[in-house]
Amino acid sequence: MDIADFATQWLINVRSDLTRYVVFAVAVWFILWIALARPLAGRKIRPDSPGARQMLIEFGASLRSIAIFSTIGLFTFALERAGLLPGPRIAAAWGPLWGWVSLALIVVAHDAYFYWMHRLIHDPRLFRSFHRRHHKSNNPSPFTAYSFDIGEAVIQGSFIPLWVLIVPTPWWVTGVFMLHQIVRNTLGHAGYELFPARRDGRPLFDFLTTTTHHDLHHAQAGWNYGLYFTWWDRLMGTEHPDYYARFAAATRKPLLSGVEAGERAT
Output the DSSP codes for 75-122: HHHHHHHTT---HHHHHHHH-HHHHHHHHHHHHHHHHHHHHHHHHHHT
Q: How deeply is 125 buried, as exposed, middle or buried, from its count of CB atoms within 10 A (0-12, 13-18, 19+)? A: exposed
pLDDT band of residue 256 (cuts 50, 70, 90) is confident
Residue range 162-191, pLDDT digits in tens: 999 999 999 999 999 999 999 999 999 999
pTM: 0.92
Q: At residue 263, does pLDDT exceed 60?
A: no
User: Which residues make Cβ contacts (< 8 Å) with residue 92, sequence separation at least 6?
Assistant: 170
pLDDT (average), residues 87-106: 97
Residue 197 β-bridge partners: 203
For residue 264, what pLDDT is reported?
46
CA gap 143, 60 in Å, rounded? 9
> Cα angle at 27 between 135 and 47, to 5 degrees?
50
Q: How far apart are the first and last CA of the chain?
A: 67
Contact 102, 167 (CB under 8 A): yes
Distances (CA, A) of 60 to 75, 155, 183: 24, 19, 19
CA gap 227, 204 in Å, rounded? 17
Domain ranges of the chain: 3-265
Q: At residue 257, does pLDDT exceed 90?
A: no
Dihedral pair phi/psi, residue 263, rounded to 5°? -65, -40
User: Which residues make Cβ contacts (< 8 Å) with residue 12, sequence separation at least 6?
Assistant: none
Residue range 207-222, pLDDT digits in tens: 999 999 999 999 999 9
Residue range 121-175, pLDDT digits in tens: 999 999 999 999 999 999 999 999 999 999 999 999 999 999 999 999 999 999 9
Q: At residue 32, does pLDDT exceed 70?
A: yes
Contact 88, 169 (CB under 8 A): yes
User: Which residues make Cβ contacts (< 8 Å) with residue 239, sequence separation at least 6?
Assistant: 213, 223, 224, 230, 233
CA gap 62, 54 in Å, rounded? 12
Residue 175 β-bridge partners: none
For residue 253, what pLDDT is reported?
82
Residue type, 70: S
Distances (CA, A) of 132 to 64, 109, 126, 128: 15, 25, 9, 5
Residue range 10-22, pLDDT digits in tens: 999 999 999 999 9
Residue 66 β-bridge partners: none
CA gap 32, 203 in Å, rounded? 20
Dihedral pair phi/psi, residue 44, rounded to 5°? -75, 130
